[in-house]
Amino acid sequence: MPISEAESAVMQVLWARHPLSAEEIVTALGDARQWQEATVKTLLNRLLNKGAVGAVKEGRRYLYSPLLQREAYVHEQSKDLLDRLFGGRLAPLVAHFSAHETLSPRDIAELKRLIAELPDER
């Protein structure tokens, strides 16, 4: 399911804590977005229509919770990035970042650990 960058910001808030009202989401987004409640409600309606969030009426307001799991979203976005930019291969992505970004010793150690833990496919 395609989720825009703005919708993703709302999802990040809901993945961190839920259920929340639109007003609480505005507060959680804080100065980073400075969105009005109407903007957040528009984004929430889009997410509702996509099936990414659900809503329960409580009094005069709705409380929103994520239906789309963060892991599933991250997996799809990661796979899409690899497919579009690197032919579905992970090694060229790592090579790109190692050539254009500084990998910390911690990053390198973690990559080595991950590679060592891969199952041997002989």
DSSP H helix total and E strand total for the chain: 6, 2
Q: What is the domain extent for residue 36?
A: 5-66
Q: Is residue 71 part of a domain?
A: no
Residue 21 three-state SS? coil
Answer yes or no: do 48 and 13 share one domain.
Answer: yes
pLDDT at 122: 47
93 shares its domain with 61:
no
Please report the DSSP string for 25-81 in residue order.
HHHHHGGGT---HHHHHHHHHHHHHHTSEEEEEETTEEEEEESS-HHHHHHHHHHHH
Question: What CA–CA distance (Å, rounded) separates 52 from 75?
Answer: 15
Give pLDDT tens digits along the chain (122 positions): 789 999 999 999 999 999 999 999 999 998 888 899 999 999 999 999 999 999 999 999 999 999 999 999 999 999 999 999 999 998 898 888 888 888 889 988 998 898 899 887 64
How many domains, the chain? Answer: 2
